[in-house]
Structure 1
Amino acid sequence: MMDIRAFRLPPAVVAPLRDRLPHVATRAIDAITAEVPAYAEAFAGDMGAKIERAVRAALGTFLGLVSRAYGPEPHSPLTPGLEAAYALGRGEARSGRSLDALLAAYRVGARVSWHELAAISVAAGQPAAAIAHFAELVFAYIDELSAASVAGHADELASSGRARIRHLEQLTQALLNGEAEHSVVAAAQRADWSPPQTLTAVLVPEHAARTVVDLLDRRTLRLSEAGQAVLLVPDASPSALLGLLRGQRAVVGPVRPWMQVKASYDRAVRTLQLPALSTADYVVDTEDHLVALVLTADPQALADLRARVLEPLSAETEVSAAKLAETLRSWLRHQGRREEVAAELFVHPQTVRYRMTRLRELYGDRLRDPDWLASLTIALALPYPSNPIAKH
């Protein structure tokens, strides 16, 4: 690639070009406006005058660079132009214009500028060799500016992308912490995130988060903690969400208004902590485990309730107490239908009759008391431990 810093043009070549600089700049701007649609609005608005000055400055820098005196220089005259081009690239990224539009503008500007500058040089009587050499310098200069703008555009996108990711993580944390509404709304504004109607919390292993996120709404919020990824999915239909996640290891909380998603997250966490589900390798819908969640909300209270309602079995041997508790649980589940109890326990109906006779001896009228039956049903709703009776 040609190094424009190594070339000089005599003052006689540059003088007529400098005199016509405003005209060249105007022609370049007109061509860019006509041929690059993304810039038509920018030139028509308040930015038009600023951009025109920038184009004139770039051309002036070029002419100053190629006409400077020969000799060693501690600082390149090209530096200000490169810095301005880098800043332009960053500004274009902030404005939302693509790199394609920026490079197209450079190409159009280079073509028109060269056409105008060449015409001026021919009119001034410059020889063909000098004009050809001048063309090389023009396009080498534009290449330098283009590269600087590309770097600025890329750096701005990377910087703003990292900043937005941080803002989105801060928003997610604010939602999961249940912070005040004004704080959460401010966090959403900083993250440039438009609130949906609802959010649904989904827990997935951290290593699978990227794959799962690709299946979901692009507005999905994400946060990683302790090997788990928390995903907050906007406006999700429960059935559709479960379908999308089929084949994944995930826990799906209930749909909640977006400001109340902490409740969805808390339920998903509690469901994941249920012993039967802690190692589940499929999609878990928390709605399928409401009974277990209710019953385990206060584990010590459940343990105390079990101990109280099973106290009549305390005099039995450990094996006998376990069989009687298992039979009582099935009897409550099947509303006393002996054949169904026998089928569930894989025993003979006569065995069920024998055990229920023993339970009636131990409990007496309490097996006809609605309050006691309710307590027994709750206490035995979940699988009981192998030793359900604490020995005294």
Structure 2
Amino acid sequence: MPSGPLSIRPVTTKRDTKQFIEIAYTLNSGDPHWVPPLRDEVASTISPKKNGWFSHAEAQYFLAERDGKPVGRISAHIDFLALEMPADRGFGPGTGFWGLFDAQDENTAKALINAAEDWLRGKGMTKALGPVSLSIWEEPGLLVKGHDHSPTVLMGHHPAHYQAWIEAAGYKEAKKLITYDLRVDTGFPPLINRIVAAGEKNSRIHIRKVNKSKFAEEAAIILAILNDAWADNWGFVPLTQPEIDDVGKKLKPLVFEDLIMIAELDGEPVAFMVTLPDLNEAVKPLKGSLLPFGWAKLLWWLHKPRARTMRVPLMGVVKRLQASRLASQLAFMMIEYIRRAAVADYGATRGEIGWVLDDNQGMNAIADAIESKINREYIIYQKPL
């Protein structure tokens, strides 16, 4: 049981930063489904010098200590682009965030959330959303369903009891995010196969792989479609070039040409689908460190992944085609082509699609059509300050 007085203090030194990173490994070590992230990756994420998100954001980190030992952590942060978004889409003026949340007990959790709220109030914020770690494009939401299996690459995982602690602190659901699980080694229903076959006969449609030798150009095409396709979504914040540059450096080793598709209509790029081999399968055994031989194991895996699971983190169709039959057809064609490659070239047996907003009717309909099932749910909470 906790003993001694609890103190909450801001992270100000390199030693503080190391403790901020390390406490997550301590508190989650007993969870067999938690995937310890590489410590260097965590350090880069929280560093203003190494994460392009900080070009339009600021953050303060806090440590909770008891008897001189860390027992929890939290970030409080403001995304200045989120402040410019329409309020009816989730963010907007006065919206602050907290995330990177871990706590040993409920009292610690309450004190950490209070510290984050106080910091946000001091910056003039009138509403707090969390957990969002750090960007909405990174690990948003608290896991509330799916604790019985490990997350895929770039998805969060949290103890089940955090939900009650956060709700006891006065937070209500702002939005639910879901992921879908599906078998990919058995093929899709006949209806989907007919839709794909019909698309292949349409001379206006061309589905192509990305060209990794033109990485920057292909990324620019995908970014343009993404920012158009997602502009009206709840929680949308446009990705900026510094973010794209940093994400590109991190994800380029996971980019395999036959797993990322761009759909063209009359020669114009109008849709895309990004699929990543589940890096967590290779990272989990490393326990957060590339030493002494983890780096060699990871490089070998990245050279030619054999991944049981593939994750689809992003897909989009330009706004003018959304809600049309053509949009669904393009999506099914890209999904099927990537499914074939994932099974034949990487040994995949399952896929995970998401996250998806739970009220995104178009994506939910596509997921239902290919007979996928919800396997994980995340909640982003909100509270007036």
**Per the shorter chain, which TM-score range?**
under 0.3
TM-score (norm 1): 0.21
Larger strand fraction of residues: 2
What is the TM-score of this pair, normalised by structure 2? 0.22
